Amino acid sequence: MKKFTTLCSLVLLLVCSAAFGQFGPPPQAPKDPIVDAIIKEATTNSQLEKLGHELMDGIGPRLVGSPKMKEAHDWAVKKYTDWGIPARNEKWGDWRGWERGVTHIDMVSPWTKSLAGTQLAWSPSTKGKTVTGDVVIIPDGADSLAFQKWLPSVKGKFVMISMNQPTGRTDDNWDKHGTKESVEKMKKDRQTLTEAWSARIRKTGKTNNTLPAVLENAGAAGIVMCYWSRWSGSNKIFGARTKKIPTIDLMLEDYGLLYRLAENGKPVKISVRADSKETGVQPTFNTVAEIKSTVNPTEYVMLSAHFDSWDGGTGATDNGTGTLVMMEAMRILKAVYPNPKRTILVGHWGSEEQGLNGSRGFVEDHKDIVANLQALFNQDNGTGRVTSISGQGYLHSYEYIGRWLSKVPREYKVDLETTFPGNPGSGGSDFASFVAAGAPGFSLSSLSWDYGTYTWHTNVDTYDKIVFDDVRNNAILAAILVYQACEDPNKTSREKSVLPMNLRTGEPGKWPEQRSPTRKGGME
Ligand SMILES: [Zn+2]
């Protein structure tokens, strides 16, 4: 046995040394001066940290229709202009204008504690006052009749409409420290509680979406909720469904405190001050910047990332990091590849979060560009290194993407996997707006860094979560792909693959349909 192993090792050694001796290490793309210059500019003159600070800390969250969104668009145009890249804000629609002010929430009885939480986007204000009221929980009534009977009692009170989570620890934390039995028990308890809570809401005859307005019309002082993101200190902050009273989201830790006190019959009171301003109907924009080609000015290679965000945090990983990748790639390309063989465009889209509206608007308004698009690269799933690219259902995508990727040095694609031809994306982010129009739009898809739980649409999607080395990796990758797509002597094929049959309906697979944006939003 021993001998056998030794012999094997020896053979292996010989094979290996033969492989390395004769042919050298696995092939690395031959040196390309532009690729080298891209890497040098990205690593020795990186602007990512500065841009990240200016955008996330200096401007902040970028809710559609808010003054912050407009400020960000103007900032981006100024940045591009300073880099010598012509840029413009293109109007594609109008949205309800709303400006976030302070939210102060305190428990004032049975004892005093300032609570961690915030109003939802578009929440009505408390009109410059601090409103104090009892806290009550949606009761576990028998049916909708019982609910209707209870309803008048909410007058002047804050109503809690979310389930009380049994644990504020992450599942990872439980797995690390719990016993097998305790972890299983916790998960089972949580499942039972979740089902019971759904039943409780169902029995009111309302849904989570319709309940706030019903409580508002019954005279409640405010809605209190907790959309826990399964991560300590992290909640998802979306839009309010009330028109007159504030909707506030409390962190699990403080929501649980109020809930347990109220449930056990203690009179619980909170004080809420929520300031905000309605600013009327506001124009909404995409920021578009352009490095024009003199060789093929009407053929286009595009970088793409949505610019808007939810506003509980500062939109650092959704989609601050995608934004940084594209801005930095543009800056680098202008510095080292100022005379591209095709025109390079970047789109910083508005209102992706409400349904890819900015990019759908662009696709509708710029049919010429979409028809002559060589390739588009979008990034929008967090701060991580790009680890997957799909051919989005284009039959020959493996040929050109594979060729372009071969020019990327190994260290910038270590974990990268490709899927060809893949399936056409019907949503998720702005590349889908282009795919729906039959244009070669691709997604540079990142590894997670717990994006879905930790930062996606949460109050803690902030600067400190950015992993700058990964973002730098992505800026280099995006810049090289754009350079290669510009240099390619061939136009990319748009031939679609035959899509797999829909197993449920037995129908042949269908390419996603192009859809119009919502051009007037938030006013219903
Ligand atoms: Zn996003």
Q: Which CATH number does the domain housing residue 327 bear?
A: 3.40.630.10
Q: Which residues of 91-104 are buried (b: 16+ CB within 10 A; e: fewer)?
A: ebbbbbbbebeebe
Dist. CA 380 → ligand 1 center (Å):
5
CA–centroid distance, 317 to ligand 1, in Å, is 8
Look at residue 283 and tell me if it is in a domain: no
Which residues are within 8 A (CB) of 86 and not within 5 positions of it... i.e. 6 or more apart? 80, 289, 290, 292
Does residue 136 share a domain with residue 71?
Answer: no
- Tell how far the Cα of 270 is from the centroid of ligand 1, in angstroms: 34
Give the H/E segment covering residue 224. strand 222-225
CA of 301 to the centre of ligand 1 (A): 21
Rounded mean pLDDT for each run of 10 residues along the chain, 524 residues in total = 40 42 57 97 98 98 98 98 98 98 98 98 98 98 97 98 97 97 98 98 97 98 98 97 98 98 95 98 98 98 98 98 98 98 98 98 98 98 98 98 97 96 96 98 97 97 98 98 98 96 90 97 89
CA of 320 to the centre of ligand 1 (A): 9
Q: How far is the CA of 48 from the centre of ligand 1 (A)?
A: 19
My answer on whether 52 and 168 are in the same domain is no
230 and 368 assigned to the same domain: no
Cα(509)–Cα(516) distance, rounded to whole angstroms? 22
Q: In this structure, are 302 and 442 located in the same domain?
A: yes
Q: How far is the CA of 381 from the centre of ligand 1 (A)?
A: 6
3-state secondary structure of 271: strand
319 vs 308: CA distance, rounded Å: 7
C-alpha 164 to ligand 1 mean position (Å): 28
272 and 376 assigned to the same domain: no
Q: Give the distance (Å) from ligand 1 centre to CA of residue 353.
A: 7
**Same domain membership, residue 274 and residue 296:** no
Q: Specify whether the CB–CB gap between 95 and 65 falls below 8 A.
A: yes
- pLDDT at residue number 15: 42
Q: Are strands 441-443 and 445-446 parallel, antiparallel or unpaired?
A: unpaired
| Alpha-carbon torsion angle 125, 280, 428, 163, nearest 10 | 20
Sign of CA pseudo-dihedral 267, 224, 381, 194:
positive
- Which helix (H) or strand (E) element contains residue 401? helix 397-405
Q: What Å distances lie between residue 81 and 54, 125, 304, 327, 352, CA to CA? A: 16, 38, 18, 12, 24
pLDDT at residue 24, as a whole number:
54
Spacing, Cα 348 to ligand 1 middle (Å): 12
Measured in angstroms, how far is the CA atom of residue 411 from the centroid of ligand 1? Answer: 26
* Final residue belonging to a domain, choices 221, 252, 278: 278
Answer yes or no: do 254 and 328 share one domain: no
Q: How far apart are CA 134 and CA 244, in angstroms?
A: 18
Q: Does 228 reside within a domain?
A: yes
Does residue 518 lie within any of the structural domains?
Answer: no
Distance, CA of 229 to CA of 226 (rounded, Å):
9
Q: Give me ligand 1 centre to Cα 448, in Å.
A: 13
pLDDT, position 503? 87
Q: Are residues 347 and 424 in the same domain?
A: yes
| Span from the CA of 481 to the centroid of ligand 1 (angstroms) | 21
Quick check: is 286 in a domain? Answer: no
Q: Is residue 376 part of a domain?
A: yes
CA of 352 to the centre of ligand 1 (A): 7
Give the CATH number, domain containing residue 245. Answer: 3.50.30.30
Instruction: Give the DSSP letter of residue 82.
Output: H
Q: Across-strand partners of 377? A: 303, 442
37 Cα to the center of ligand 1, angstroms: 30
Say if CB 328 and CB 283 are below 8 A apart: no
- CA 329 to centroid of chain Cα atoms: 20
Q: How close is the Cα of 271 to the center of ligand 1, in Å?
A: 34
Å from CA of 34 to ligand 1 middle: 31
Distance (Å, whole) CA 211 – CA 215? 6
**Gap from CA of 356 to ligand 1 centroid (Å):** 10
Q: Could you tell me if 347 and 369 lie in one domain? A: yes
Q: Which of 445, 329, 447, 305 is nearest to 48 (CA)?
A: 329
Last residue of a domain, one of 250, 278, 306: 278
325, 392: one domain:
yes
φ/ψ of residue 501, rounded to 5: -65, 140
Identify the domain containing residue 218 by its residue range: 101-278
Closest by alpha carbon to 288, among 330, 351, 342?
A: 330
Q: How far is the CA of 295 from the centre of ligand 1 (A)?
A: 34
Pairing of strands 234-235, 228-231: antiparallel
Residue 18 lies in a domain: no
For residue 92, is it within any domain? no
User: Around 79, how many Cα atoms within 13 Å sit in the side-chain half-sphere?
Assistant: 25
Q: Among residues 120, 193, 192, 207, which one has the least CA distance to residue 163?
A: 193
User: DSSP labels for 450-519?
Assistant: TIIIIITTBTT-SGGG--HHHHHHHHHHHHHHHHHHHH-SSPPP-PBPPPPP-TTT-PPP-PPPP----S
Number of domains in the chain: 2
**For residue 109, how far is its CA from the centre of ligand 1 (angstroms)?**
40
Among 278, 310, 342, the domain-final residue is 278
Q: Quick one: 40 and 156 in the same domain? A: no
Find how far residue 485's CA is from the centre of its chain. 26
Alpha helices in 235-378 (DSSP H): 252-263, 321-336, 357-365, 367-371
235 plus 326 within the same structural domain: no
* Tokens at 48, concatenated: 């990512």
Residue 501 lies in a domain: no
CA of 121 to the centre of ligand 1 (A): 16
In sequence order, the β-bridge partners of residue 14 are none
